[in-house]
Every structure is written in C-alpha cells, then in structure tokens.
Homo-oligomer: A and B are copies of this chain.
Amino acid sequence: MKSTTEYLTFRTKERREYINITRRIEEIVRESGVQEGLCLVNAMHITASVYINDAESGLIQDFDDFLERLAPHEPTSQYRHNRTGEDNGDAHIKRQVMGREVVVAITKGKLDFGPWEQIYYGEFDGRRPKRVLVKVIGE
C-alpha cells in the first residue's frame, strides 16, 4: 500500500470565500503514483468546508446566500458560542451544512470524476492561515 500526505494553507482576504482546489489535488494524486485507491480531502479547521460542486460563479453566490439565510453572521449575539469572545458561531454551522470532507476514488491514476465535479475549499471565517489535509492511499 502506498500513501501520501500533503497540507495546503489558505489565507483568504474575505471572511467567506470559495476556492477551486481541483488542480492542486490532481497534482498531489499524480505525484503519489497511486493508480487505484482513495483520496481524502478535508478542512483541518472547524469553520471551513471541503465540498464538491460546480465551478459557476452564480451558483457559488447562491450557496452563500443560502448559508447566510440559514445561519446569518449578524447579529453575532444570536449564537451562544460568541459569548466566548468569538464572532464565528455562524461559520461553525455553515461548515456543518456544507460538510468537512470529500472522499474521491482514484482510478487509473486519476481522480475518478463526473463531468462537472470540482473540489472547493469553502471558507466561512477567513483572513487568517488555515489548512486543508490531502491523504492518498492505494496502490
């Protein structure tokens, strides 16, 4: 069994951003030499997500609107978590709805993707360095 572990670091300018990381994951899989296996990609922080969906700017805005409607950032006093001095109670909930991780099949040395699948890093409390883990296992 082969395995590879990589860490990507992101520091977004905005509180919430959505970054297409597909190319970087493809490179890691290629360099791993794994032909058949699994690739786990997960946010290492609990106010961010890794998810798979479309690289279409309108849809990304739709996701952001949806998440703000479900768990608005303001007023920050609506979240008990923020009594600890934080202001990111909403970000923990947004991350939970969008998910922490994706597991992608590797077939014949490549991410085995449908036509529109793209891997995104979803940041809900940015403006500081945060990490994503990539783990490849297989043969």
Where the two chains meet, the residues of A that have a C-beta atom closer than 8 Å to any C-beta of B are: 1, 3, 5, 36-38, 40, 42-46, 51-54, 56-59, 61-63, 66, 70-71, 79-84, 89, 92-93, 95-105, 107, 112-117, 131, 133, 135, 137-139
Nearest-CB residue, chain B, relative to A4: B36
Complex copy number for this chain: 3
| A108 vs chain B, min Cβ distance (A) | 9
Q: Take A38-B38, A56-B84, A58-B83 as given contacts and tell me if A107 and B135 are in contact as well, using a CB distance cutoff of 8 Å.
A: yes
- Which chain B positions have C-beta within 8 A of A71? 66
Chain B residues near A103 (CB, 8 Å)? 40, 42, 101, 103
16 A–B contacts from the bound complex (CB under 8 Å): A1-B138, A3-B138, A36-B137, A43-B114, A44-B115, A45-B114, A46-B52, A46-B114, A59-B79, A59-B80, A59-B92, A61-B80, A70-B70, A105-B133, A105-B135, A114-B133
- CB contact under 8 A between A107 and B5, given known A53-B46, A96-B97, A137-B36: yes
Chain B residues near A135: list those with CB within 8 A.
38, 105, 107, 112
Determine whether the beta carbon of A112 is less than 8 Å from that of B133. Answer: yes
